[in-house]
Chains A and B, each alone.
Chain A
Amino acid sequence: MIREEPAFKIKNANFPLFVVHIHTTDFDKLKSELEKRLHQTPDFFSNAPIVLGLAAIADSGCTPDFSGLVAFMLSLGMRAAGVVGGSLEQCDAAVRAGLGLFPDTPTRPSPLAPPDQDEPPTKSTQPLQPELPGFEMQTEKTLERNESEKVSPDDDIQSIQPDDPSTEPHFRPTLVIDKPVRTGQRIYAKGADLVVLAIVNAGAELIADGDIHIYAPMRGRAIAGAHGNQSARIFVQRLEAELISIAGCFQVFENGVPENVRGKPAQVYLDGSRLIFQTLPG
């Protein structure tokens, strides 16, 4: 049977985008500063779509004149494609002005990185482990998860690659490992949660963009929220880890895991820039 090629296909794609975070409700000031900045590098944007970051003025109660702003930016070669992080009124006004709405989780400036900083939280407040995948791609240019990121082709890495990413754009099945994860092995659950049912030995590395669950002794490294998901958590049946990291905030345990959680079922989550270790009922 010959299937006719459909007229179009909808596919999930991720492009690098610039976010212009607006820090003032004084739009004349904004315009003049934009003009001044782009005067030096007039081709900087060259019609690249940009996103207006409204998080810093979301609570100001002020609704910008988007049509005027968009027209002004266009004259500078900046094509505003949408807004992110605004209040309901601001989003409403943006839509009326023909702008799109971006989901405001991953790129929204967090309390960790005040909006006046150009660096993402993982870079600005915490030292980096450059060899870990997931850290090097986290920049303000990245919108949501960067799908094009390549993992180094080490045979020890197991990552999941769904057959057709277009059908499930934002959902990937949990990666389940049921064999011991041994020293030197690195498991990466790309864009997904990771569940390990066997022992994780010292020198082994678990990395997930989502949560990590280990139903066995955990003696290696666990890196959750590798792409900056600050709500990622790590759940361990027996915490004896060497290193725990969530969204780039990490802690090493030179003298072992703190007494109160050592060897116990525990969860780890991020509170601001602090990792919280909490025992779970056994």
Chain B
Amino acid sequence: MPKVIVVTSGKGGVGKTTTSASFSSGLALRGNKTVVIDFDVGLRNLDLIMGCERRVVYDIINVINGEISLKQALIKDKNCDNLYILPASQTRDKDALNLEGVERILNELKESFDCIVCDSPAGIESGAFMAMYFADEALVVTNPEVSSVRDSDRILGILAAKSKRAVDGLEPVKEHLLVTRYAPDRVEAGEMLSVTDIQEILRIPLLGVIPESETILQASNSGTPAIHLEKSDVAEAYKDVVARFMGEEVPMRFITPEKKSFFKRLLGGL
């Protein structure tokens, strides 16, 4: 059964698009035929993170308006064979999306893809609503700070009340918690919420923790999803996330401060 997975958060700037890019790449690397859709109409970003911005000719709004076929709008990813990108429009706004159009696109994509990842815009308005409405599963991206957690809580409430699965009385949307920008040493210093704190409030299963890292910025600027940056913590963490999503048992990493070696401690002391 093809799966529709929404990457959402409520709050902006927590790492939804970064996660969408790496998560969909990870699914594709594991052999799933995957498409990632940018729902942030008007503030198109996913194509930049995926490094395909110069290949965008048509977008999701053209498909919704029936101006072109879906195939014409899909862009093949440069890193993974199994991955396609459906970009958002930069010149329109979110009102150009409608539920019928989105449903038609998703149904068509379900015929040839295993995983459909929807990159939600921030907020709880129509764009975010369109992205989540048809979801089977949801990745709720949260930063370890109170406002992000509260916004995620709000999004979870909306998923439970307004998604198609909720409206139709089907099995509820499967929720996954993804904590990003996590800095274990700052958690230990009491400057950040811990994963336990976040789970205490949100009470949904933890899919993974992505450590705070400078490599994310590098990856974004170079148009390469972070999961492709070999040997970085972030890439490892995203691979773990994908593995867990596929049902593998992988122990949590990057949630405790790195043990400093004798030399580092010595240098740090200087």
Contact = CB atoms under 8 A, between A and B. Distances in A.
A201 B153 contact: yes
Q: Tell which of A181, A184, A185, A202 has the most Cβ of chain B within 10 Å.
A: A184
A263 to B, nearest CB: 12
Contacts of A199: 201, 203
A155 B162 contact: yes
A26 interface: no
A182 B154 contact: yes
Given A202-B150, A203-B150, A156 B203 contact: no
B12 interface: no
A229 to B, nearest CB: 27
B162 A182 contact: no
A180 interface: yes
Contact of A155 (B153, B156, B161, B203): B161
Q: Tell which of B153, B158, B203 has the most Cβ of chain A within 10 Å.
A: B153
A179 B161 CA distance: 11
B18 to A, nearest CB: 25
A221 to B, nearest CB: 14
B210 to A, nearest CB: 23
A203 B162 CA distance: 18
B157 interface: yes
A94 B154 CA distance: 55
A183 interface: yes
B157 A185 contact: yes
Contacts of A155: 161-162
B160 interface: yes
Nearest to A184: B154
B162 A183 contact: no
Given A202-B150, A203-B150, A184 B203 contact: no
Contacts of B160: 179-180, 182
Interface in B204-242: none
Interface of A: 155-156, 179-185, 198-199, 201-204
